[in-house]
A and B are shown apart, each in its own frame.
Chain A
Amino acid sequence: MKFQNHSHNPDPAPGRYLLEPGLVARLEGYRLVRYRPAGGEPGGGRRSHRKGGAVEFADYRQYTPGDEPRRVDWKAYARLGRLYVKEFLDERQDCVLLLVDTSASMDYGGEAHKGRCALRVAAGLGICALAGHDRLAAAAGGSQTALLAPLGGRGSIFRLLQFLEGLTFGGVSDLAGDLRAALAMAPRTGSLYVFSDLLDLEKVEKTLRLAAGYGLETTLLHIMAPQERQPVLEGEWALVDAESGDRVEISVTPALLLAYRRRLENHMGQLDDLCRRWGARRVMVDSGERPPAPSSLP
């Protein structure tokens, strides 16, 4: 995997090993938790709203002509004298979509590179999904949109990692546009994981609105570098926006840093409001945190 700006990325090949081989093996034992029943294709391992032939009892209902006689609860007929049919839950296969923001703003952080952190987490979640018999699709948006068609089975883990390692950072993000393209490619998507620094509230809302319209269970993984959360600056600086190129001259004072933190907290509060409004969740991910060692996982 190559990065656009090597001067801001001290690791010449950060994607060479997105995940350690041992960690990949351990992640295959994990499953993605889904809080709502899946509505995907049959044959999966996910609980569904639909009734089917699975083992788990769902409800009783009165017998109507055409029902299979083997589903009639004869013991209840003996006690009550009326025919009741037992219903069982159907199990479906979920489709997980990973949407990775590869805009220029993610190419930041040095040792705590935001983009590399996003790719690592996406790889981990993808492995969990594929190992859990869910289908997995991926999309990335920055200077251009990259799509990965839905995959299934453990054998697709390599293709997932290959896709992620091939991503480059740059350009301006368009999360909603990328999501729309991905949904066109994987219309049965039930879960959406967005990996982004979520700097543009308007774009974030647009994405959440679109996801809610498709009934997706959306999780925003908010990737931030430690330098963004707690800036350590002194003196006179000219700051250049990585995406827009805007230039801001500042004299770093304690008051300015305090104002920065207040604006950041306000921004996160607005993000949380959006998530509440559109039924999504936001998970803060600090790119400075080291990935867990394989031996530390249960």
Chain B
Amino acid sequence: MSFLHPLFLWVGLTLPAIVALYILRPRRREMIVPSTLFWQAAPSSIEASRPWQRLKPRLLLWLQLLAAASLTLGAAAPVWYWGSPSKSVIVLLDASASMNATDLGQTRFSRALREVEALADSLEKGATMTVIAFDRQPRMVVREAADSRQVHRALQGLKPSCYPGDLGPALSLARALGRQQDRPRIVLVSDGGLAPVDNAGDLELVTVGKDGAANVALAGLQLRPAGEGQAAQVTVVNHGGRAASGQVYLSAGRQEMQARKWHLGPGESTHLLWPDLPAGVPVAARLAVDDAGMDHLALDNQAWAVPENKHRVRVLLVSRGNIFLERALGVLPGVEVYKCTPQEYPSLLGGAYNYEITVLDGLNSPLPPGAALFVNPPAGEVAGLKVGGKFHPPALAGMEGSAILHYVDLSQVHIASARDLEPGSGWAADVKAAGKTVLAHGQGQGKRLVVWGFDLHDSDLPLRPAFPVLLHNTMAWLAPPDLELPAQVYPGQEVEVAALPLARGIEVEPVSPEAVFFRGASLSSVPNENNLDDGKPGARVVLAPPFPPAPWIPSAPGLYRIVESCGDGDYPGHQISRLVAVNGYHPRESDLRVRDPRSQQGEEVTSTAPRPRPRSLAGLLSALALAVVLVEWGVASRGH
């Protein structure tokens, strides 16, 4: 039970006041009467001359005290939390990025830990507590602990992460655990910087943080080509309720650029531009706020950006002579084409093979180390795909959603003779004719493979606009440009790192000292399960082998380098590295206003009191006070 308006407990001073009225002797008017024979009074009243008198236990006194106490409690609006027949509690502890805010003098997460410890200390005998810490995914900290000391130990060393919070999975886990118990209370300890969830009416909320907490953030850093160099645009957002000012410092590579000043009103944002930066170097921006009280979250005060990576793919065409392929491959951007005959091909395989894509025209073996395009393979099998006999395909039909067929118009394409392809596991058909597959792509033996089941000379495809587009799509899928990294990465985001065709291993290493790595695939195997931030700073993280590579989850903002080892050490370019910028800004986490995630509107919370189906006792107490006053009136009428 708690009070909605605890300040009204001052009304309770009426209780000693009432007692004082009974102790102090009232001032009486004096009157002479013929006789006091018929008036009754206590002897002490007759004789005493002191200003106070002995407190006598009168029924009126007790009734008035009861009425005053009822009114006091009613004014303070106590609430009783119904619907919690069980004594057990499941605590959802928010450990997302916004819990790093320091608006309380300490971090919000530290305050949240104190709240959880207080809940643990108030556990009744026989009650149990389960604590689930969560950011983007839930983590069991302690399960059904009956001893508060066990909870205290489990909470030690727990730190917030830099990830955005997601309440949904944590709530699902809590409800799943709750079904194994007797309808436990589910308490969310959070600052509310979470995406609203549905059906959270039974969720009790304990908020931490000041509602007026201010924060200024670097919301973005973008690079674009400008002349011979590049230009950087920095976005600054003021999430506070007051105006703020400061500077943004920018460095391009090792060169420090001129700082720019900014001044923002409440809720405003601005864009700062550096037009003349040297080309091809990563850029870092740092935010400085004049008033430190306007910036309570340091996570989003730095941003990085890296220029677009250019990588030329080396393609080996193994063919007895195919003018269409040679010409088409030669005009593809970012592609270096090499050619050999089928007789020379085995000898190349025996040496330092450094071709990322091999185009086998009229061959189906041997498989090259990297990706491969098979054109008109002979009957047989290619890495799980069976190549059958020839048939005369009628009209071609492209599979919807195929990555190979983007912008490819097959309506004007005719094939005189093609082989029947039977895709196995890991393969997907792209073009079919009369129910038979003519073109397919897939992965086999850790390699990306595409099979064109027809001879270009038996088709009018090379004469159609679809041919260069189809070939470009095929090459792009076989060798993804720039590792398919997204433009914006934030901590906690799962980054799918595409393996280059010749990749032997993929590692991630930090460039800036602030970078902390966290490998999402091994989340459940982290030894200390209570520590959300158990990544090892400065250590390399191996994403592959095995292939396909595991997703990479950056745990902190910073600049990272993804290194793919390709081929053998004899090849001079055996390592391909790409820089990735991870920025800590997330709109929901950087806005430090305390909100209610149970509400779809995300309305702000003004009270930190828990609101789990509370039932106010104010009405009941007021009715009790009224009843007591009526009884008191009746008793007073009878002169007691």
Contact = CB atoms under 8 A, between A and B. Distances in A.
Contacts of B636: 253
B637 interface: yes
A287 to B, nearest CB: 11
A251 B636 CA distance: 11
B30 interface: yes
B46 interface: yes
A225 B34 CA distance: 10
A197 B41 contact: no
A199 B37 contact: yes
A255 B26 CA distance: 19
A133 interface: no
Interface string A232-254: 00011111111110111111011
Nearest to A262: B38
A8 B32 CA distance: 9
B32 A242 contact: yes
A236 B40 contact: no
Nearest to B45: A249
Interface string B41-58: 100011000000000000
A105 B34 CA distance: 4
Contacts of A210: none
Given A254-B638, A255-B640, A256-B639, A240 B32 contact: yes
A193 interface: no
A236 B39 contact: no
Contact of A250 (B35, B41, B637): B41
A248 B46 contact: yes
Interface residues of A, number: 35
Where chain B touches its partner, the secondary structure class is: loop
B639 A255 contact: yes
Nearest to B27: A236
B29 interface: yes
A297 interface: no
A191 B377 CA distance: 159
A267 B28 contact: no
A259 interface: yes
Contact of B31 (A237, A254, A256, A258): A237
B36 interface: yes
Given A236-B26, A254-B637, A255-B639, A246 B36 contact: yes
Nearest to A249: B45
B26 A242 contact: no
Nearest to B640: A255
Contacts of A258: 639
A259 B40 contact: yes
A242 B38 contact: no
A14 B46 CA distance: 34
A131 B46 CA distance: 51
A267 B46 contact: no
A8 to B, nearest CB: 7
Contacts of A199: 34-35, 37
A195 interface: no
B33 A238 contact: no
A256 B35 contact: no
Where chain A touches its partner, the secondary structure class is: mixed
Interface string B570-613: 00000000000000000000000000000000000000000000
A63 interface: no
A250 B35 CA distance: 14
B39 A248 contact: yes
Interface size class of B (residues with CB under 8 A): 20 to 34
Contact of A249 (B35, B38, B41, B638): B41
B35 A243 contact: yes
B34 A242 contact: yes
A89 interface: no
Contacts of B33: 108, 239-242
Nearest to A5: B32
A236 B28 contact: yes
A263 interface: yes
A238 B637 contact: no
Nearest to A227: B33
Given A238-B28, A249-B45, A114 B639 contact: no
Interface string B462-484: 00000000000000000000000
Contacts of B40: 248, 250, 256, 259, 263
A249 B28 contact: yes
A228 interface: yes
A243 B32 CA distance: 10
A239 B34 contact: no
A88 interface: no
Contacts of A253: 636-639
A250 B36 CA distance: 11
A240 B32 CA distance: 5
Nearest to B43: A248
A114 B26 CA distance: 32
Interface string B6-39: 0000000000000000000011111111111111
A235 B35 contact: no
A237 B34 contact: no
A241 B32 CA distance: 6
B44 to A, nearest CB: 10
Contacts of A197: 34-35
A114 B41 contact: no
Contacts of A260: 38-39
A281 to B, nearest CB: 22
A32 interface: no
Nearest to A240: B32
Contact of B41 (A248, A263, A264): A248
A283 to B, nearest CB: 19
A168 B40 CA distance: 30
A240 B639 contact: no
A15 B29 CA distance: 31
Interface string B110-132: 00000000000000000000000
6 contacts: A105-B34, A247-B36, A248-B46, A250-B39, A255-B637, A263-B38
Interface of B: 26-41, 45-46, 636-640
Interface of A: 8, 105-106, 108, 114, 197, 199, 225, 228, 235-244, 246-251, 253-256, 258-260, 263-264, 267
The 7 tightest CB contacts between A and B, nearest first, are: A255-B639, A253-B639, A105-B34, A238-B28, A249-B45, A236-B28, A248-B41
Given A246-B36, A259-B40, A264-B38, 5 more contacts: A242-B32, A249-B45, A249-B46, A255-B637, A259-B639
